[in-house]
């Protein structure tokens, strides 16, 4: 008898726990006293649809207390789609208090796009300051400038879905700073009026197509870098010097080659002369043999050669002094 009673009590407790789990009476009572009408059957069906009733009920209570009109089915659908219901409701409440036009459809679309909708609304109320990395640019006089800027932005709710993020804003601001400095005639003009960079960059409408609205661009710091113009001129001079040296080396190599070629040709001509001189005795012997040259003619030729050699020897031994002009 005692065992049967114990089993009956255990079964009743398990049945009560199951009933209370699928029919959260306490949660239903909390919603009822908060002015949110949700039936026990709807709460039980949420369990079967794998929707946490507490998240939906708390979101309905928060929205109702803030004066929002929220539909239970819309909240369930957003949760089943993978959205963050509490964040969406918080964003809607914050937007209503700040007079920012934001409806439930837009809020859920922003949330499902992967953005923090509550943070977006907060940034619309409190603008965010983004520090740009150092931007290097060169003025027309060749002086390098390194600028740092602070970009104040606020969220553009209507562009959050499909709009570009902070990286695009920073890239466009950097591009605008480079363009502004590059168009300056002298780096001194930029140092004297850094606000001119901000005006030029703001006038370009860099926030188009982004999820942010640029409120201001302030140049926080400008440092002077290298003299790029002088470096480029030095590199050009070195390049010209190397080219000139290469051309000179080429001309020297050609001259050496030409000299060697001329020496080779001189040796060739000398060999031909020696060859021709070697033919003279043969020709004279042939002439003597054929009778074209007599013996007396031969001796007369020898005497002429001896006289010529003697005169050359005397002239080499007693050179004639150069004539002097007396004043």
pLDDT in tens, 266-319: 888 888 888 887 887 777 777 777 877 777 777 777 788 788 888 888 887 765
- pLDDT computed for residue 2 by the predictor: 64
Q: Which of 73-77, 79-83, 231-235, 258-262 has the lowest mean pLDDT?
A: 231-235
Q: pLDDT value at position 302?
A: 78
3-state SS assignment for residue 122: helix
Question: Among the listed ranges 14-28, 117-131, 132-146, which one has the minimum average pLDDT value?
Answer: 14-28
Can you give the pTM of this predicted structure?
A: 0.57
- The H or E element containing residue 68 is none
Do 34 and 63 belong to one domain? yes
What does the pLDDT read at residue 125?
A: 83
Considering the domain boundaries, does residue 248 fall inside one? no
Ranges assigned E (strand) in the chain: 128-131, 135-138, 143-155, 212-227
Whether 159 and 191 map to the same domain: the answer is yes
pLDDT at site 326: 44
**Is the predicted pLDDT of residue 258 greater than 80, yes or no?**
yes
Least confident span in 100-104, 142-146, 186-190, 248-252: 186-190
Determine the average pLDDT of the residues in 180-189: 83
Regarding whether 101 and 156 lie in a shared domain, the answer is: no
Q: Domain boundary residue among 99, 125, 151?
A: 125
CA distance 185 to 245: 36
Reply yes or no on whether the pLDDT at 144 is more than 80.
yes
Task: Name which residue leads in pLDDT, 11 or 184.
Answer: 184
Let me know whether 52 and 113 are in one domain: yes
Residues 139 and 119 in one domain: no
Longest dimension (CA), the chain: 176
The reply to whether 132 and 121 lie within a common domain is: no
Q: Are the C-beta atoms of 109 and 159 separated by less than 8 Å?
A: no
In this prediction, residue 325 carries a pLDDT of 45
Q: Alpha-carbon distance 89 to 77, whole Å?
A: 14
Q: Which helix (H) or strand (E) holds 296?
A: helix 295-317
pLDDT at 327: 38
Q: Tell me what the pLDDT averaged over the chain comes to.
A: 81
Domain holding 158: CATH number?
3.30.479.30
* pLDDT per position as a tens digit, 203-249: 878 878 888 888 888 888 888 888 877 777 888 888 888 899 999 99
pLDDT at 188: 82
Q: Taking Cα atoms as reference points, which of 237, 247, 146, 236 lies closest to residue 191?
A: 146
Are residues 158 and 223 both part of a single domain?
yes
Instruction: Tell me the C-alpha distance between 79 and 38, whole Å.
Output: 17
Cα(108)–Cα(30) distance, integer angstroms: 26
Instruction: Give the domain range for residue 113.
Output: 22-125
Cα separation of the two ends of the chain: 167
Instruction: Report the number of distinct structural domains present in the chain.
Output: 2
Same domain, 52 and 65: yes
CA atoms of 205 and 173, how far apart (whole Å): 10
What residues contact 312, with CB distance under 8 A and at least 6 apart?
none
Arithmetic mean of pLDDT, 18-41: 71
């Amino acid at each position: 008898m005692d065992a049967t009673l114990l089993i009956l009590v255990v079964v009743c407790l398990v049945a009560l726990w199951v009933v209370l789990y699928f029919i959260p009476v306490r949660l239903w009572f909390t919603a009822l006293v908060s002015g949110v009408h949700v039936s026990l059957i709807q709460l039980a069906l949420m369990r079967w649809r794998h929707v946490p009733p507490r998240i939906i009920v708390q979101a309905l209570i928060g929205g109702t207390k803030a004066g929002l009109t929220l539909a239970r089915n819309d909240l369930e659908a957003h949760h089943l789609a993978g959205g963050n219901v509490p964040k969406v409701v918080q964003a809607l409440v914050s937007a209503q208090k700040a007079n920012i036009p934001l409806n439930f459809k837009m809020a859920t679309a922003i949330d499902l796009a992967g953005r923090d909708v509550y943070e977006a609304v907060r940034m619309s109320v409190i603008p965010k300051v983004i520090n740009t990395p150092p931007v290097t640019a060169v003025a027309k006089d060749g002086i390098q400038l390194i600028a740092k800027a602070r970009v104040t932005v606020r969220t553009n709710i209507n562009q959050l879905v499909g709009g570009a993020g902070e990286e695009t804003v920073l890239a466009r601001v950097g591009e605008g700073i480079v363009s502004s400095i590059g168009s300056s005639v002298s780096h001194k003009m930029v140092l004297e009026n850094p606000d001119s960079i901000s005006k030029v960059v703001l006038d370009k409408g860099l926030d188009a197509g982004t999820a942010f609205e640029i409120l201001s661009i302030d140049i926080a710091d400008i440092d002077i870098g290298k003299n790029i113009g002088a470096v480029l001129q030095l590199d050009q001079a070195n390049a010209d010097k190397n080219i000139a040296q290469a051309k000179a080396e080429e001309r020297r190599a050609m001259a050496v080659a030409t000299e060697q070629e001329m020496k080779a040709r001189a040796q060739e001509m000398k060999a031909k002369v020696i060859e021709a001189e070697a033919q003279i005795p043969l020709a004279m012997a042939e002439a003597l043999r054929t009778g074209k040259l007599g013996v007396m003619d031969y001796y007369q030729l020898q005497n002429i050669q001896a006289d010529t050699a003697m005169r050359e020897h005397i002239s080499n031994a007693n050179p004639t002094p150069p004539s002097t002009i007396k004043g």
